[in-house]
Amino acid sequence: MRLIVPGSSGLSSLDDLDAAGLFRVYATPGPNWVRCNMVTSLDGAATGPDGRSGSINNEADHIVFEVLRASSHVVVVGAGTIRTEAYPPLSVQDSLVDLRRERGLPDILPLVAVSNRGAVPPTLSGCRDGRALLAVPSSATGLDAARADLGPDNVLVCGDDVVDLAALVAALRERGWGQVLTEGGPGLLGSFLAAGQIDELCYTLVPQVVGGEHPRTVGPQAVPAELHLETLVEQDGTIMGRWLVRRR
Ligand SMILES: NC(=O)c1ccc[n+]([C@@H]2O[C@H](COP(=O)([O-])OP(=O)(O)OC[C@H]3O[C@@H](n4cnc5c(N)ncnc54)[C@H](OP(=O)(O)O)[C@@H]3O)[C@@H](O)[C@H]2O)c1
C-alpha cells in the first residue's frame, strides 16, 4: 500500500505501508475523536447490486477497515446496517492485537447498535458480555426487552424521541471510550453529521461502477460540511483517504 499524501503522519510520500505504518497514518490527533469509515464506488454507490457494501469493498479496503477498528475503543453502527450486513459481536484481527495494545487500547472492541425503536438486531441478541450494546431513546418501544436481552448496563438511553448522538458520544466517553469509529450506514452518518459530532470521514473509493439506483453514503438528515484532505493511500487502484471536518 502506497502513501500518496502523508499529512501529519511524519512518513514520506510513496512509502510502502505495513500495518504499523497504517496505524501511524490513521493516528488521531487527540484522546476524543469521532470518525466514520465508508466505502463507495466511483459512481457514488454505497452498496453493490446485492444491496450490501460487502459487494463493493475489496482487499485494500478490508486492510484499512481492520486497522480503523483496531485503532478504536468502540464501533457505533446503525441498526439498519447491522441487520442488512448481519454484524456479529466484533473482535480485533489477530495480527493487529499487539499494535492495538501498544496504543493502550483494551482487547475488547464493543459494538454499539443505534436503534430508535430499541430493536436488538438478531445477530447481537443474547450477547451479554459487554461486546454488544444498544443506544436507544427513552421512548423506544423495545427498551425493556433490550435490557432483558443484552443486560441493563449494555443499553444506553440517550435522548427522548430519537437517539441524541451528542449524548451518546458523551456516554461513550464516560466509559473511557474516546476513540469512536462509526461505520454508518448512510442514515446514521447523516444524523451524526447533522448533530455536528463527526471529526473525520475516512473514505475508500473502489475502481468500480455499479450503475442503477443505489443509496449514497450519506443519508438525508445530513447538513453540508466542508472538509480538508489529511492523508491519501493507494493500493491496486483503490484510493483510501482521511478528510477532516473544518470547524467554524
Ligand atoms: N458503503 C458503506 O460504507 C456502507 C456502510 C454501512 C452500510 N451500508 C449500507 O447501507 C444500507 C443501510 O442503510 P441505512 O441508512 O438504512 O442504515 P443505518 O443508518 O445503519 O440504519 C438506519 C437505522 O438506524 C437506526 N437509527 C437510530 N438512530 C438513528 C439516527 N439518529 N439516524 C438514523 N438512523 C438511526 C434506525 O433503526 P431502527 O429502525 O431500529 O429504529 C434506522 O432505521 C445497507 O444496504 C448497508 O449495506 C453501506
Say yes or no to pLDDT of 36 above 90.
Answer: yes
Q: How far apart are CA 94 and CA 220, in angstroms?
A: 37
Could you tell me if 122 and 98 are in contact, meaning their C-beta atoms sit under 8 angstroms apart?
no
End-to-end CA distance of the chain: 34
- Phi first, then psi, for residue 27 (nearest 5°) are -65, 140
Give ∠ CA 222-182-2 in degrees, rounded to 5: 105
pLDDT at 14: 81
User: Is the bond preceding 130 in cis, omega lying within 30 degrees of 0?
Assistant: no
* pLDDT band (50, 70, 90) for residue 100: very high
> Among residues of the chain, what percentage have pLDDT more than 70?
100
Out of 39, 57, 62, 114, give the residue to mutate to test ligand 1, the one with the largest number of ligand atoms within 8 Å of its CB. Answer: 114
- The residues, ordered by sequence, that sit 6+ positions from 176 with a Cβ below 8 Å of its Cβ are 73
Please state the atom number of ligand 1 nearest to the C-alpha of residue 56: 1
Could you tell me if 84 and 105 are in contact, meaning their C-beta atoms sit under 8 angstroms apart?
no
- Enumerate residues lining ligand 1, CB below 6 A: 38-40, 46-47, 51-53, 78-81, 84-85, 114-117, 119, 162-163, 165, 183-188, 191, 215, 217, 219
Q: Region 172-196: what's the mean pLDDT?
A: 97
Over residues 202-218, the pLDDT tens digits come to 999 999 999 999 999 99
Could you tell me if 194 and 222 are in contact, meaning their C-beta atoms sit under 8 angstroms apart?
yes
Could you tell me if 199 and 178 are in contact, meaning their C-beta atoms sit under 8 angstroms apart?
no
Out of 50, 62, 116, 201, give the residue to mutate to test ligand 1, the one with the largest number of ligand atoms within 8 Å of its CB. Answer: 116
pLDDT at 86: 96
pLDDT at 16: 93
Q: How far apart are CA 234 and CA 68, in angstroms?
A: 16
DSSP state at residue 15 = P
Q: Region 193-210: what's the mean pLDDT?
A: 97
Burial 82-109 (b: 16+ CB within 10 A, else e): bbbbebeebebbeebeebbeeeebeeeb
All structural domains of the chain: 2-245 (3.40.430.10)
Please state the atom number of ligand 1 nearest to the C-alpha of residue 116: 41
Say yes or no to pLDDT of 248 above 80.
Answer: no
Over residues 137-174, the pLDDT tens digits come to 999 999 999 999 999 999 999 999 999 999 999 999 99
Sheet holding 111-114, edge to edge: 2-5, 227-235, 238-245, 200-206, 33-41, 179-182, 74-78, 111-114, 132-136, 155-157
List 114's β-bridge partners, or say none.
78, 135
